[in-house]
Amino acid sequence: MRGRIIDLENYPRRKIFDAFKDRDIPTYSITSLVDITAFKPFAKELAHGFFVPFSFLLSKAVNAVPEFRQRIVDGNIREFERVHPGFTILQQDRTFAFCDSLHFDEFAEYGPHAQEQIRRSHEHPICDTGEKHHMFFISNLPWISFTAITNPFDRQNSSIPIISMGKYFSQGGQLVMPIGVQVNHALVDGIHLGDFYNHLNDFCANPSHCFG
C-alpha cells in the first residue's frame, strides 16, 4: 500500500507544492454545511445507524478526488489507488479510541466490515499512531454544531485529510450538518475541496445511487 510516485518534474502543481511543503503549518481547514435532508430517512432504513452509512459517503467522496488520495512520503508525492477510513470511537468511559477500517465500493461489504471494526474497537481500544498514509481520518462530534474546526497537527501525517462531522440541525426547511475538512495545502487547493463537497452533496441528495 505504498502508492505510485508522482513525477514532480511533470507535476502541474510543482510550484505550489514547493511553496507549501516546508511551512511550519502547511495544513488548513474549512467547514461547510451539507444538506442531508434526503439522506437521513434513507439511512434509517439501512439498519446500520447514521454514522456508518454517512462514513461510507465520506469515503466515496474522498476516494473520488485524486488529490485527497495523495500523500507526502519521504519528500515524494505518492498517490494511492484508494484510501481507507479510520474513525474515532467513543468508549463507555467517555474516552475514545481509534478504529481502522477499509473502503469498499459497495455498502454491502463496507457496512458489515465497519460495524465489526467498531465492535472490536470497543472491546480492545487502541490509540495507534503508526504509519497510516493509506488512510484518511473521520472524527464525529454529534453533540455540537460548529462553524470552524482544527485538528492536532504533526508533520509525519500532515498530508492525511481529516474529516469532522458535527451535529445536524434544521435550517430553512432542510436538515444540514457541518462537515469540517483539514488538508495539506502542498497537495490540496480550494478547487479540490470544492470537488469533495460537490461529490458529497450529490451523494447525500441521491443516496439510492450510492447504496444500490
Residue 210 banded pLDDT, cuts 50, 70, 90: very high
Amino acid at 66: P
Specify whether the CB–CB gap between 203 and 180 falls below 8 A.
Answer: no
Which long-range contacts link 108-115 to residues 24+ away (Cβ below 8 Å)?
108/212, 110/52, 110/56, 110/59, 111/46, 111/48, 111/52, 111/53, 111/56, 114/52, 114/55, 114/56, 114/85, 114/87, 115/48, 115/52
Q: What is the pLDDT of residue 87?
A: 95
Lowest-confidence region among 74-88, 124-138, 167-181, 187-201: 124-138
**Alpha-helical regions (H) of the chain:** 14-20, 39-44, 51-63, 107-123, 190-205, 207-211
Q: What is the pLDDT of residue 130?
A: 80
- Tell me the chain's radius of gyration from C-alpha atoms: 17
Report the C-alpha gap between 137 and 156 in whole angstroms.
Answer: 14
Q: What is the mean pLDDT of the chain?
A: 95
Q: What is the pLDDT of residue 59?
A: 98
Could you read off the pLDDT of 97-139 as tens digits, one per residue? Answer: 999 999 999 999 999 999 999 999 999 998 877 889 999 999 9
For 62-83, what is the mean pLDDT?
97
Q: What is the pLDDT of residue 1?
A: 61
* Neighbouring C-beta atoms of residue 179, cutoff 10 Å: 25
The structural domains of the chain, ordered by start, are 26-211 (3.30.559.10)
Query: What does pTM read for this prediction?
Result: 0.96
For 17-24, what is the mean pLDDT?
96
For 63-83, what is the mean pLDDT?
97
Specify whether the CB–CB gap between 24 and 98 falls below 8 A.
Answer: no
> What SS3 state is found at 175?
strand
Q: How far apart are the first and last CA of the chain?
A: 28
Whether 176 shows a pLDDT value over 70: the answer reads: yes
